[in-house]
């Protein structure tokens, strides 16, 4: 797990180090020197004619340091400052003056010189982008936007300092225009915006550069790594038995809708549940009984009161559960899921129809008698928040955090780069594949998370959700042959392989 910071936290890291006595110039020197190392390693065959472009802020300052360190290594870069250099201040000013003092001609590019900039860029072997970093907080317009568009149009590979210019550090949105990078050297800590789309598409490979300040230990947010799965799912004791591995109840399925329940059950089994019972409404139980011999079934009466009573009784014997897939959306089904979502005394994953049933007032979950993990896709999250899917996607971290705050529960916002949020914490899953975008994979995920909950110790609900998300995404990567054509059940089947791979990674890393 790596710390993940937003715009303000990023500034706070620098400010805290400076207040502690580490001069800002030292931080900038470390950033620029570290970035030069990355540049020289990743663009070794493109150092013929680098173009270093800096803005008027401190991101530009990093660029001037890079240009100086390139000089030390015998590489003479073409350097330009976009805008009026008289406005460069602070540590960036010191480094701009130093570069000029060493005899480097840093040309100022004004609105009227954009064609010149374009021709410089077209001849460059690599562009070092120091135009905007974390300071960017509004849409880029005017000649700066024009300049970025012209640089991007050359298709010369770009090396971004801290962030590709134009990317919102907080959300990953493009603020008007962006200069897409092949590699991004990000300073001190990963930025939130680098790990959500469209930021992910524009950042290229992200390399963390140590600038001499410790990573914040209390960072609210983190970026999961593939080998975290091994840490989150400890090895089983040699004398483990099916009882100690946890018993998962899947409250899913209704007459005519049984596939989702089965997939959720398969996910739970493959993720390590010792026993799984499919508790289906009415006649669905009979249909499920014959399908998968490893899964047990029990019947939940279709009538409301009898159904709720049966579900709560079922919970008494179980360690964790799933509520929702294929349960139905008629009035009785909605009342049943809402009541069980609140009254069940075991941790439950709430998915699909359960999320629809709760969309009217998700705040009732603050009264739930045990922890809940909500697993909405963007459309379901939009309904729960009373907004649109487009708005959720435009600010996914915010949506996940808002929903966690309103419900008091853990939220797994699905989609590329799934986000896990609670009131206190946030994590992003770096794994996954577009092939997971197919019917049934969400049902599998609900079961996988429930199995993690069933074996988690109390209070580790957030970690269990992270483990489930990571296992599912990595299983998708392993099972997918191409970017499509994946079957949900294949994802379930690959979950043990994901765990094995993570353990192998972890072992080779130590």
Q: For K ion, which is the closer residue by CB, 165 or 171?
A: 165
**27 touches ligand NAX by CB under 6 A:** yes
Residue 371's SS3 state is coil
Q: Does 62 bind K ion (CB under 5 A)?
A: no
CB of 133 to K ion, least distance (A): 5
- Would you count residue 241 as binding ligand NAX (CB under 6 A)? no
Q: Does the protein bind ligand NAX through residue 144 (CB under 6 A)?
A: yes
Q: What are phi and psi of 158, to 5 degrees?
A: -115, 145
Other beta carbons within 10 angstroms of residue 143's beta carbon come to 17
Q: Tell me if 38 contacts K ion by CB under 5 A.
A: no
From the list 53-61, 68-76, 332-340, 469-477, the region that binds ligand NAX by CB under 6 A is 53-61
Among 211, 276, 344, 403, binds ligand NAX (CB under 6 A): 211
List the 372-374 sheet strands across, edge first.
190-191, 2-5, 221-223, 426-428, 419-421, 410-413, 372-374, 348-350, 320-323, 247-251, 275-281, 296-300
Task: Supply 212's token pair.
Answer: 């001499």
Interface residue with K ion among 36, 58, 134, 165 (CB under 5 A) is 165
Interface with ligand NAX, residue 35, by CB under 6 A: no
Query: Does the annotation list 260 as a binding residue?
Result: yes
Contacting K ion (CB under 5 A), which of 35, 161, 269, 469? 161
Is 134 flagged in the annotation as binding? yes
The DSSP bridge pattern shows strands 419-421 and 426-428 to be antiparallel
| Tokens matching residue 8 | 């303000």
The string of DSSP letters for 173-219 reads: -B-S-----SEEEEESSEEGGGGSTTHHHHH-EEEEE--SSPPPTT-
Restricted to residues 121-140, the positions that interact with ligand NAX (CB under 6 A) are 132-140
Contacts with ligand NAX, 161-200, as mask; x by CB under 6 A: xx------------------------x-------------
Taking the C-alpha atoms of residue 421 and residue 427, their distance in angstroms, rounded to an integer, is 6
Decide: is 404 part of the binding site for ligand NAX (CB under 6 A).
Answer: no
Partners of 52 in beta bridges: 79, 128
| 110 Cα distance to chain centroid | 38
Contact residues: K ion, CB under 5 A:
129, 160-161, 165
Q: What does the binding site for ligand NAX look like in residue numbers (CB under 6 A)?
A: 14, 24, 27-28, 31, 55-62, 132-140, 144, 161-162, 187, 211
Binding site members for (6S)-NADPHX: 58-62, 133-139, 162, 260, 326, 377, 443
């Amino acid at each position: 797990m790596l710390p993940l910071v937003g715009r303000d936290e990023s500034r706070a890291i620098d400010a805290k180090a400076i207040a502690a006595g580490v001069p800002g110039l030292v931080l900038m020197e470390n950033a620029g020197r570290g970035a030069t190392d990355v540049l020289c390693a990743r663009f070794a065959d493109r150092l013929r004619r680098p173009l270093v472009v800096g803005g008027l802020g401190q991101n530009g300052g990093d660029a001037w340091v890079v240009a100086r360190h390139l000089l030390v290594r015998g590489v003479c870069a073409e350097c330009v400052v976009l805008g009026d250099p008289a406005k460069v201040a602070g540590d960036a000013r010191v480094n701009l003056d130093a570069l000029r003092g060493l005899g480097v001609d840093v040309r100022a590019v004004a609105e009227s010189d954009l064609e010149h900039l374009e021709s410089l860029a077209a001849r460059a072997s690599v562009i070092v982008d120091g135009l905007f970093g974390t300071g960017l907080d509004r849409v880029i317009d005017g000649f700066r936007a024009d300049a970025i568009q012209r640089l991007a149009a050359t298709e010369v590979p770009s090396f971004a300092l801290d962030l590709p210019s134009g990317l919102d550090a907080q959300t990953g949105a493009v603020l008007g225009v962006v200069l897409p990078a092949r590699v991004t050297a990000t300073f001190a800590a990963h930025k939130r915006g680098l790990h959500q789309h469209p930021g992910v598409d524009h950042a290229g490979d992200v390399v963390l550069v140590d600038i001499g300040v410790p990573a914040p230990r209390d960072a609210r947010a983190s970026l999961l790594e593939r080998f975290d799965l091994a840490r989150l799912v400890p090895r089983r004791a040699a004398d483990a038995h099916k009882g100690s591995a946890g018993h998962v109840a899947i409250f899913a399925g209704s007459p005519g809708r049984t596939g989702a329940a089965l997939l959720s059950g398969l996910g739970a089994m493959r993720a390590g549940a010792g026993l799984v019972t499919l508790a289906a409404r009415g006649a669905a139980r009979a249909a499920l009984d014959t399908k998968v011999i490893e899964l047990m079934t029990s019947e939940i009466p279709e009538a409301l009161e009898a159904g709720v009573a049966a579900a709560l009784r079922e919970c008494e014997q179980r360690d964790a559960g799933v509520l929702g897939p294929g349960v139905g959306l008629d009035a009785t089904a909605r009342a049943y899921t809402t009541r069980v979502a609140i009254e069940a005394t075991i941790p439950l994953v709430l998915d699909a129809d359960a999320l629809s049933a709760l969309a009217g007032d998700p705040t009732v979950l603050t009264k739930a008698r045990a922890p809940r993990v909500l697993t909405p896709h963007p459309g379901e999250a939009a309904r729960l928040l009373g907004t649109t899917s487009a708005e959720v996607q435009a600010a996914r971290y915010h949506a996940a955090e808002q929903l966690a705050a309103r419900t008091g529960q853990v939220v797994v916002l699905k989609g590329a780069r799934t986000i896990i949020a609670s009131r206190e914490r946030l994590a992003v899953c770096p794994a996954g594949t577009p092939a997971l975008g197919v019917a049934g994979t969400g049902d599998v995920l609900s079961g996988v998370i429930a199995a993690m909950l069933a074996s988690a110790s109390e209070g580790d609900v957030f970690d269990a959700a992270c483990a489930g998300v990571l296992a599912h995404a990595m299983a998708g990567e392993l099972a997918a042959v191409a970017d499509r054509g994946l079957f949900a059940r294949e994802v379930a089947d690959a979950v043990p392989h994901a765990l094995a791979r993570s353990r192998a990674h972890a072992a080779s890393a130590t």
